[in-house]
């Protein structure tokens, strides 16, 4: 059987500029699904997010490869692209079987209840896909169990509402088929150097997952909804074997919260050191974990951990409480100090709220000065389906809450006019870029990388200042409820 797995393209300019300039990771989700496909089948991965003309590339691939089954993955910001692609696929060949999987299918399967999607997979796909294919060969119904749904099912609505997504024991998840993608396309900007010199700041990067899920319940995050609070951890030995087998020397851990189980991650670091595996790593971690286990991070520094992404979110107690972070402002400050002391580069992620006043933006500017040098990024608080803030805001959207869900476009009214909001937002990024570690630490790097970083950085910041132009012009100089009055989202299906 010929199977094509497709990662949809992101359509918003800001998201594309992020991918072109700073960070573009491989489609690990599809590589894992491909890993579960029995060997006698032929499988290809088409990552449309690396293509300049994704639609024509997609059509050509269908014409040349003639897939019998197409599996799409989607986050909430790309599910409408998957709808469009599945329609094209069916127009090219009405017999092709189309499958939708990934975060959005898991969260909101009903959104894929359209004629051009045959099956919806909720939860882990690498284990499920082999069953689907076996059933295909045995001419059995392809949708089965609680997590593989078909919109044509009579009880689809009820199943989509009631059934829980499927997660097998983590050791059953197949190994990623990394050979199916052009690995030269994936990179991540690297800003940490203990010698003051970097051969490149855009190294090729591999993604890896050592655990899945998170026991916390931050109000803006979908993970506890997607995984139903499960936290699945891989054995340290399995993690080490996978790392040792990776061609790339730079690794981005895509775990939701890798460091939750300190004992497990300590063992991973020890094994990396014992086996003399010399690679560089980026990971996410909560500030309270860093404060609780500074020695663990010291050990990881020895093992190669260069950068830690920390969702500091805010330096304001009320906001942290509202996000249900279960973290104090002081804990955030301590975590920043610990990482500095250990010489691990901090990547701090902050949330900008749509109700920010000019003063709130100024406070965040002061925070940039306080914590730099560090990589610092900002996202606009955006309701995602499956979260409490979605329920709280679902009658207030000022634009399509899926198409614009990139955590850069505000989905709900801003207190300032849209134009002023994005002037402030763009300025935050300008300041953050100026205080970036490469500049502040005067890191030596190839001249071509320096030029590339400046050009891409400028283009990115420029596109942020101009985000307000993606809304109707009548809205640009309006604030609050007036934006809501002008929008045409009442008909949006939520």
Cβ 13 to ligand B12 shortest distance, Å: 12
| CA torsion through residues 299, 271, 23, 28, sign | negative
257 binds ligand SF4 (CB under 6 A): yes
- The one among 214, 291, 345, 412 contacting ligand SF4 by CB under 6 A: 214
Tokens found for residue 158: 């009820």
Taking the C-alpha atoms of residue 471 and residue 482, their distance in angstroms, rounded to an integer, is: 13
Cβ 22 to ligand B12 shortest distance, Å: 8
Site size with ligand B12, rule: CB under 6 A:
41
286 binds ligand SF4 (CB under 6 A): yes
Which runs of consecutive H residues, i.e. helices, occur in 140-184?
156-162
Stretch that binds ligand B12, among 85-93, 215-223, 294-302, 360-368 (CB under 6 A): 215-223
Stretch that binds ligand SF4, among 161-169, 180-188, 209-217, 301-309 (CB under 6 A): 209-217
| Of residues 125 and 413, the one with the C-beta less far from ligand B12 | 125
Distance, first Cα to last Cα, the chain: 37
246 binds ligand B12 (CB under 6 A): no
Helix axes 447-465, 13-21, angle to 10 degrees: 170
Q: How many CA atoms lie within 13 A of 485 on its CB side?
A: 6
What's the longest Cα–Cα distance across the chain?
Answer: 64
String of DSSP letters for 88-142: HHHHH-TT-EEEEESHHHHH-GGGG-STT--EEE-B--TTHHHHHHHHHHTT--S
Alpha carbon of residue 155 to chain centroid: 32
- For 194-224, b/e burial (b = at least 16 CB within 10 A) is eeeebeebbebbbbbbbbbbbebbbbbbbbb
Taking the C-alpha atoms of residue 298 and residue 282, their distance in angstroms, rounded to an integer, is: 14
Interface map 291-330 toward ligand SF4 (x if CB under 6 A): --------------------x-------------------
- The one among 30, 105, 201, 218 contacting ligand SF4 by CB under 6 A: 218
Cβ 344 to ligand B12 shortest distance, Å: 18
Out of ligand B12, ligand SF4, none, which partner does residue 214 contact, by CB within 5 to 8 A per kind? ligand SF4
Q: Provide the strand spans (E) within 339-463.
A: 345-352, 375-380
Alpha carbon of residue 147 to chain centroid: 22
- The one among 9, 210, 211, 384 contacting ligand B12 by CB under 6 A: 384
Stretch that binds ligand B12, among 53-61, 98-106, 357-365, 409-417 (CB under 6 A): 98-106
Out of ligand SF4, ligand B12, none, which partner does residue 216 contact, by CB within 5 to 8 A per kind? ligand SF4
Out of ligand B12, ligand SF4, none, which partner does residue 257 contact, by CB within 5 to 8 A per kind? ligand SF4
248 binds ligand B12 (CB under 6 A): no
Taking the C-alpha atoms of residue 303 and residue 339, their distance in angstroms, rounded to an integer, is: 15
Chain positions 326 to 385 lying near ligand SF4, rule: CB under 6 A, are none
Out of ligand SF4, ligand B12, none, which partner does residue 224 contact, by CB within 5 to 8 A per kind? ligand SF4
The two counts, helices (H) then strands (E), for the chain are 20, 16
223 binds ligand SF4 (CB under 6 A): yes
| Of residues 25 and 277, the one with the C-beta less far from ligand B12 | 25
Taking the C-alpha atoms of residue 100 and residue 108, their distance in angstroms, rounded to an integer, is: 11
- The one among 8, 34, 76, 96 contacting ligand B12 by CB under 6 A: 76
Q: Identify the three-state secondary structure at position 240.
A: helix
Residues that bind ligand SF4 (CB under 6 A): 214, 216-218, 221, 223-224, 256-257, 286, 311
Residues that bind ligand B12 (CB under 6 A): 10, 15, 19, 23, 25, 27-29, 32-33, 71-73, 75-77, 99, 101-104, 106-107, 121, 124-126, 128-129, 173, 207, 209, 221-223, 254, 256, 379, 384, 406-407
């Amino acid at each position: 059987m010929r199977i094509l797995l497709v990662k949809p393209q992101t359509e918003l300019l800001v998201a594309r500029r992020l991918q072109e300039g700073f960070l573009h990771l491989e489609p690990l989700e599809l590589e894992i699904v491909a890993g579960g496909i029995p060997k006698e089948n032929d499988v290809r991965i088409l990552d449309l997010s690396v293509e300049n003309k994704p639609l024509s590339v997609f059509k050509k691939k269908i014409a040349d490869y003639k897939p019998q089954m197409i599996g799409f993955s989607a986050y909430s910001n790309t599910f409408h692209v998957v709808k469009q692609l599945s329609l094209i696929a069916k127009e090219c060949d009405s017999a092709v079987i189309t499958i939708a999987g990934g975060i959005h299918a898991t969260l909101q399967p009903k959104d894929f209840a359209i004629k051009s999607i045959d099956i919806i997979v909720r939860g882990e796909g690498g284990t499920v896909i082999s069953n689907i294919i076996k059933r295909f060969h045995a001419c059995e119904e392809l949708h089965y169990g609680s997590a593989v749904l078909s919109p044509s099912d009579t009880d689809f609505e009820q199943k989509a509402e009631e059934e829980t997504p499927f997660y097998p024991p983590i050791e059953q998840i197949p190994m990623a088929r990394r050979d199916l993608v052009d690995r030269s396309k994936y990179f991540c900007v690297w800003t940490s150097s203990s010698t003051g010199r970097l051969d490149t700041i855009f190294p090729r990067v591999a993604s890896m997952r050592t655990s899945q899920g998170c026991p916390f319940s931050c109000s803006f995050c979908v993970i506890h909804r997607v995984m139903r609070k499960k936290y699945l951890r891989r054995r340290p030995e399995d993690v080490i074997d996978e790392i040792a087998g990776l061609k790339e020397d730079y690794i981005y851990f895509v775990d939701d919260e890798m460091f939750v189980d300190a004992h497990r991650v300590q063992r991973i670091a020890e094994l990396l050191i014992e086996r003399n595996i010399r690679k560089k790593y980026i990971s996410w971690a909560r500030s309270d974990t860093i404060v609780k286990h500074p020695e663990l991070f010291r050990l990881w520094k020895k093992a190669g951990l260069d950068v830690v992404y920390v969702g500091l979110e805010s330096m304001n107690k009320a906001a942290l409480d509202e996000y249900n972070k279960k973290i104090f402002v002081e804990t955030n400050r301590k975590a920043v100090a610990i990482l500095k002391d250990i010489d691990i580069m901090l990547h701090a992620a902050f949330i900008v709220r749509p109700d920010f006043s000019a003063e709130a933006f100024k406070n965040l500017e002061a925070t940039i000065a306080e914590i730099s040098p560090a990589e610092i990024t900002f996202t606009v608080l955006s309701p995602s389906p499956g979260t409490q803030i979605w329920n709280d805001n679902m009658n207030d959207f000022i634009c399509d809450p899926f198409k614009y869900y990139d955590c850069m476009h505000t989905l709900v009214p801003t207190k300032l006019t849209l134009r002023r909001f994005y002037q402030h937002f763009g300025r935050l990024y300008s300041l953050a870029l100026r205080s970036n570690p490469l500049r502040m630490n005067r890191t030596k790097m190839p001249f071509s990388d320096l030029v590339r970083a400046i050009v891409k950085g400028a283009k990115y910041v420029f596109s942020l200042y101009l985000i307000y132009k993606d809304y109707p012009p009548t809205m640009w100089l309006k604030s609050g409820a007036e934006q809501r009055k002008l929008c045409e989202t009442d008909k949006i299906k939520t």
